[in-house]
C-alpha cells in the first residue's frame, strides 16, 4: 500500500523548514550507506498516531523581488498539486496576509485538493489569535494556528491533515497490476523507454515548456499481462537553476517510487554512472522497493568484449548499497533487451512477495551461526534464538536475540548473505528487525 504524500507550500520565511523539521523529527531517514538523498531534507517519513505519510518540502525559494517570489510559489504549488494527497498551506501571522498568499490560495482552491491552512508563529494564543482570523479571507477554510519553533498546535494540525487521507480499506490497492516506476536523471531516456514499450506516443517526449505534469501512468500489456508504468519525466524547464531542478526531480521521484512495486533506475550509458544516479537509486532502496538498474542507450556506445563487465563493475561500485539489484543493458531506440525487462520485473515482484517458512529459515540461520560465531563483547556472546519472516514488500525478518547491543551490522549482513544464498531474493532489499527475548 502506498503512503499518502503531504506537501508544505508557502512564502519564503513563513517557517516551512522549521515546520518540516518539527514534523520529521527523528523520523527523518538518514541511512548511512545511502548517499546524500535525505540529508538535504526534501522529504521525510512521518507517523502520526496510526498514520504514516511522506512529507515533502517544496521549498527552496530564496527571498527575492516579489514578482519572482510569486512565480516561484506558483510552481511550488503546482508541484504540490501534482504530487500531494494533502497540501499544508503555511502563512505567517506576524507578516500577516500578503498578496502572494491570496494568489496562491486561489490556485490551490481551484485544484480541489485538500488544503489545510496553517498559520505559523502563533507563539502565544493570547497575543496572536485575533490576527489569525484575518486568514479566513483566503477562502480555504479554518486557519489552524501553530508555532513550528515551539511545537505548539502541531498535533491539532496533524489531526486535520490525516482526516483527509483515503480510508485505509480504500487505499488498499485492489488493482493488482504490477506498478513500475521509471526513474532517473533528465534525458536518460525514461520517456523513450515507456514510448517504446507502449508502442505509441502516449508519453510526451519533447521539451514542451510549462509541462508540469508529474508522473504519467501508462498501461502496457506484455505476454497477456498488464503493467502500469509510472513515468517521472515531465517538468523540464530550462530556465530553472540546477539546485531547484534537482529538488523537484527528487520530489517527483519520491512520489512515483512511493506508488510503485518495482523501480527501474535508468542510467545513461553514454554518460556513465554518476552520484546523482546513486541519489535517485537510494530513494528506491530506502523505501524497500524492488529495483532494476537499466543502463539505457546501450546502442550508442562503442563496445568490445570487456565493455559490459567494466560498466557493471562501475555500477556496482557507485551503487554499492544495493548489491541485490539486477542490471540490464537496454536500448529504448533499438528495443534491445526490453522483453528481458518484463521478465526481470516479474521475477523481482515474485521475490518481493516471497515468504520463507520459519522452519527452513532457522535451519539456514543455525547453520550460518555454526559456521561463523556471533560477535561477543566483555565475555558475553550474542545468542540468536530464532528468526521469522513477518512481512513482504520488502521481505522483513525479525531476529530474536539475547542482547541487541551485541548484534553488529556486519553480522546482520553475514546472515543476510546466507539467506540470499539459499532463497535468492534477487532485486529486493531485505529488512531485519532485531528484538530481545530474555
Residues within the interface to ligand GDP (CB under 6 A): 10, 12-18, 59, 120-121, 123, 147-149, 184, 186-192, 205, 233, 296-297, 299-300, 331-333
Q: Give the SS3 label for residue 362.
A: helix
- Measured at the alpha carbon of residue 249, what is the angle toward residues 337 and 283, in degrees to the nearest 5? 70
Kindly tell me which of 66 and 357 has the beta carbon lying closer to ligand GDP.
66
User: Does 402 appear as a known binding residue?
Assistant: no
Residue with nearest beta carbon to ligand GDP: 189
Output Rg (C-alpha) for the chain, integer angstroms.
24
What lies within 8 Å, CB to CB, of 137 at 6+ separation is 97, 102
Residue 272 in grid coordinates = 556513465
Kindly tell me which of 145 and 394 has the beta carbon lying closer to ligand GDP.
145
Cβ 59 to ligand GDP shortest distance, Å: 5
Kindly tell me which of 147 and 429 has the beta carbon lying closer to ligand GDP.
147
Q: Give the SS3 label for residue 280.
A: helix
Cβ 337 to ligand GDP shortest distance, Å: 11
Cβ 173 to ligand GDP shortest distance, Å: 26
User: Does 16 appear as a known binding residue?
Assistant: yes
What lies within 8 Å, CB to CB, of 130 at 6+ separation is none
Residue 345 in grid coordinates = 520485473
CA distance linking residue 313 with residue 420, whole number of Å: 21
Whether residue 21 contacts residue 278, with contact meaning beta carbons closer than 8 Å, is answered with no
Cβ 119 to ligand GDP shortest distance, Å: 10
What lies within 8 Å, CB to CB, of 342 at 6+ separation is 222, 223, 227
Kindly tell me which of 15 and 290 has the beta carbon lying closer to ligand GDP.
15
* Beta strands, E only, 70-137: 86-92, 115-120
CA distance linking residue 230 with residue 216, whole number of Å: 6
User: Does 12 appear as a known binding residue?
Assistant: yes
User: Does 123 appear as a known binding residue?
Assistant: yes
Kindly tell me which of 10 and 114 has the beta carbon lying closer to ligand GDP.
10
User: Does 105 appear as a known binding residue?
Assistant: no
Cβ 120 to ligand GDP shortest distance, Å: 5
Kindly tell me which of 60 and 427 has the beta carbon lying closer to ligand GDP.
60
The CA-atom distances, in angstroms, between 251 and each of 83, 144, 179, 404 are 8, 26, 18, 35
Cβ 31 to ligand GDP shortest distance, Å: 24
CA distance linking residue 68 with residue 100, whole number of Å: 11
User: Does 395 appear as a known binding residue?
Assistant: no
CA distance linking residue 67 with residue 18, whole number of Å: 24
Cβ 252 to ligand GDP shortest distance, Å: 11
Kindly tell me which of 172 and 239 has the beta carbon lying closer to ligand GDP.
239
User: Does 61 appear as a known binding residue?
Assistant: yes
Kindly tell me which of 332 and 349 has the beta carbon lying closer to ligand GDP.
332
Cβ neighbour number for residue 144 with a 10 Å cutoff: 22
| Beta-carbon-side half-sphere exposure of residue 270 (alpha carbons within 13 Å) | 8
User: Does 6 appear as a known binding residue?
Assistant: no
User: Does 268 appear as a known binding residue?
Assistant: no
Cβ 206 to ligand GDP shortest distance, Å: 8
User: Does 316 appear as a known binding residue?
Assistant: no
Identify the helix (H) or strand (E) that includes residue 170: helix 168-171
Residue set of the binding site for GTP = 10-17, 57-61, 120-123, 184-191, 231-235, 296-299
Amino acid at each position: 500500500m502506498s503512503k499518502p504524500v503531504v506537501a508544505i507550500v508557502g512564502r519564503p520565511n513563513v517557517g516551512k523548514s522549521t515546520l518540516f523539521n518539527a514534523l520529521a523529527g527523528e523520523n527523518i531517514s538518514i541511512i548511512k550507506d545511502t548517499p546524500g538523498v535525505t540529508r538535504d531534507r526534501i522529504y521525510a517519513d512521518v507517523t502520526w498516531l496510526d498514520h504514516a505519510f511522506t512529507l515533502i518540502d517544496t521549498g527552496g525559494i530564496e527571498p527575492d523581488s516579489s514578482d519572482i517570489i510569486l512565480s516561484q510559489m506558483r510552481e511550488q504549488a503546482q508541484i504540490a498539486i501534482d504530487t500531494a494527497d494533502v497540501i499544508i498551506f503555511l502563512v505567517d501571522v506576524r507578516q500577516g496576509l500578503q498578496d502572494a498568499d491570496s494568489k496562491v490560495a486561489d490556485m490551490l482552491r481551484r485544484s480541489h485538493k485538500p488544503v489545510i491552512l496553517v498559520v505559523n508563529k502563533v507563539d502565544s494564543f493570547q497575543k496572536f489569535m485575533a490576527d489569525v482570523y484575518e486568514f479566513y479571507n483566503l477562502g480555504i477554510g479554518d486557519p489552524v494556528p501553530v508555532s513550528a519553533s515551539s511545537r505548539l498546535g502541531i498535533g491539532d494540525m496533524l489531526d486535520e491533515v490525516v482526516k483527509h487521507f483515503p480510508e485505509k480499506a480504500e487505499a488498499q490497492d485492489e488493482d493488482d497490476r504490477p506498478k513500475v516506476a521509471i526513474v532517473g536523471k533528465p534525458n536518460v531516456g525514461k520517456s523513450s523507454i515507456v514510448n517504446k514499450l507502449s508502442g505509441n506516443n502516449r508519453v510526451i517526449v519533447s521539451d514542451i515548456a510549462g509541462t508540469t505534469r508529474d508522473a504519467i501512468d501508462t498501461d502496457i500489456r506484455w505476454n497477456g499481462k498488464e503493467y502500469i508504468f509510472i513515468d517521472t519525466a515531465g517538468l523540464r524547464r530550462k530556465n530553472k537553476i540546477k539546485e531547484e531542478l534537482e529538488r523537484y526531480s527528487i520530489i517527483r521521484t519520491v512520489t512515483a517510487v512511493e506508488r510503485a512495486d518495482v523501480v527501474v533506475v535508468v542510467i545513461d550509458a553514454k554518460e556513465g554512472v554518476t552520484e546523482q544516479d546513486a541519489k535517485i537509486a537510494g530513494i528506491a532502496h530506502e523505501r524497500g522497493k524492488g529495483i532494476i538498474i537499466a543502463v539505457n542507450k546501450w546502442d550508442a556506445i562503442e563496445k568490445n568484449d570487456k565493455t559490459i563487465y567494466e560498466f557493471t563493475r562501475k555500477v556496482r561500485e557507485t551503487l554499492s548499497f544495493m548489491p541485490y539489484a539486477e542490471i540490464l543493458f537496454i536500448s529504448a531506440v533499438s528495443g534491445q533487451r526490453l522483453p528481458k525487462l518484463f521478465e526481470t520485473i516479474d521475477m523481482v515482484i515474485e521475490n518481493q512477495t516471497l515468504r520463507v517458512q520459519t522452519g527452513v529459515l532457522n535451519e539456514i540461520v543455525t547453520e550460518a551461526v555454526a559456521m561463523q560465531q556471533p560477535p561477543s563483547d566483555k565475555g558475553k556472546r550474542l545468542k540468536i534464538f530464532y528468526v521469522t519472516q513477518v512481512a513482504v514488500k520488502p521481505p522483513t525478518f525479525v531476529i530474536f536475540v539475547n542482547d541487541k547491543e551485541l548484534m553488529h551490522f556486519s553480522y546482520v549482513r553475514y546472515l543476510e548473505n546466507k539467506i540470499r544464498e539459499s532463497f535468492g531474493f534477487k532485486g529486493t532489499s531485505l529488512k531485519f528487525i532485531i528484538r530481545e527475548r530474555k
